Amino acid sequence: MPIFAVMTYGLLLGMAWVCGCHKPAGYFEITNHVDVGESEQLHEVFDEAYYMTSPDGNMDVVVRRSSQNDINDPNRVAQIVHIRSVFSPVEDRNKIESTMINGVVAYSIIGDLGAVCFQGAGFSSFSENRKGDTLKGELEQSNLRLVRRVGEIGDIFNRTRLSGEFKATRDEKAVVRILNEMDRFLGPQPRYIPPPPGTNPL
């Protein structure tokens, strides 16, 4: 399937970035839990990263990669990570622990055969520059499950864990554009419902 070709290409770019050849807008690690005690790891680089802050203080970060730039091209494959943080940790003012949950994470894959979206809760931390136009952040952990599937796209992941880092530019129009792209293919993002207490999602 096309997505696997994109992921292979991303792995090569990711290795180049680790070597210092190129630093993309985002770099994420995807751990796919194939079966009990069995998993595989994939790495992907992303070309675009934007963020905006809502009046109530919530933060939306979108990180996007596309194999082709034209969103109307049916042969393209796009990957979008959307992080909506309901609590922004600030160093020296908030106690930060990687086991905390402070937002909802969605990972969408849109291809010529259809689209899928994985969603779950996660923890991310941010650091904004003095001008308030650039945000460096890290998604330390998120456990995701399949919540939406459209078209004939097959099984890509089972249960997956997503983590990574990004450098985003403040651009509300770009955030809205990319979120609208997700909705165009997948419909509105459903409300996140956490698993029952004591349930291990993996």
What span, in angstroms and rounded, lies between the C-alpha atoms of 187 and 115?
A: 10
Q: What is the mean pLDDT of the chain?
A: 76
Q: What pLDDT does residue 33 have?
A: 72
In the chain, alpha helices (H): 2-18, 172-186
Please compute the mean of the pLDDT values over residues 105-129 and round it to a whole number.
89
Q: What token pair was written down for 119? A: 């969603």
What span, in angstroms and rounded, lies between the C-alpha atoms of 134 and 132?
A: 6
In 72-133, alpha helices (H): none
Confidence of residue 162 (pLDDT cuts 50, 70, 90): very high
- pLDDT, tens digit (0-9, with 9 covering 90-100), for 23-32: 778 999 988 8
Q: Give the pTM.
A: 0.76
Please compute the mean of the pLDDT values over residues 59-81 and round it to a whole number.
77
